[in-house]
Amino acid sequence: MIENLWRELGIGPWQAIALVIATTVLFWFFTWLTHTFGPRMRLRVSTASLALMTVIGAITARSILGDSPTMTGGIIALTVLFFWEWVLRRGSRRIRRVMGTHRKAWAVMRDGAIDEALLDHLGITEANLWIRLRRGGITRLADVAWAIIESDGSLTVIRKGVEVDPELLTGVDAA
């Protein structure tokens, strides 16, 4: 009876080591993947992007836990994921740069003019930009002094006539 219980709840030492390795590799791959494609997805949250993230999460979980998930395996996987998240958040700039998690901000509009080449480079359509501008209360393109895609994929809009401290534009490409 205890053997059956252990089989359902526990894992062996080699399985635990394999679980730590799989979780670590998939965490860093998933981190790179979301930071590479994240800004594009943030600007166009849709049913398709939600479905994509759900499928990616399911594939990642299945890859980490394998065919026979156990409670102990889940605890180990969660502990490893939270550990690497802590390392990434508290880690050096060098780690964030290597993993692509230290991104620049991009000025996609300046004085009402759109940088179409930059939008294309970032994988953002004008239609997605219009949505974000409308959500920001913009009713005329001529009212936009700056539209900046931030490093996290969000959009910051600075209206014309608003004085901007130059330090606030530090790190913004095309500024």
pLDDT in tens, 143-162: 898 888 887 778 888 888 88
Report pLDDT digits (tens) over 13-23.
Answer: 888 898 899 99
Please report the pLDDT score of residue 44 as a whole number.
54
Please report the pLDDT score of residue 5 as a whole number.
63
DSSP 160: T
Please report the pLDDT score of residue 121 as a whole number.
80
Please report the pLDDT score of residue 96 as a whole number.
57
Please report the pLDDT score of residue 25 as a whole number.
92
User: Phi/psi of residue 83, each to 5°?
Assistant: -60, -50
Q: Where in the chain are the domains?
A: 2-98, 105-173
Q: To the nearest whole percent, how much of the chain has pLDDT over 90?
A: 5
In CATH, the architecture of 105-173 is 2-Layer Sandwich (3.30)
Say how many Å lie between the first and final Cα of the chain, rounded: 68
Please report the pLDDT score of residue 174 as a whole number.
64
Q: pLDDT by residue for the chain (175 residues), tens digit each?
A: 666 666 666 788 888 898 899 999 988 888 877 777 665 555 555 677 778 778 878 888 888 887 778 888 888 988 998 998 888 877 756 665 555 545 678 888 988 888 888 888 877 888 888 888 888 888 888 889 888 888 777 888 888 888 888 888 777 876 5
Q: How far apart are CA 7 and CA 13, in angstroms?
A: 13
Q: Three-class SS of residue 123? A: coil
Please report the pLDDT score of residue 20 as a whole number.
92
List the structure tokens of 47: 């049913």
Question: What size, in residues, is the chain?
Answer: 175
Q: What's the 3-state SS for 76-88? A: HHHHHHHHHHHHH
Contacts of 155 (CB under 8 A, 6+ apart): 43, 129, 132, 133, 136, 147, 148, 149
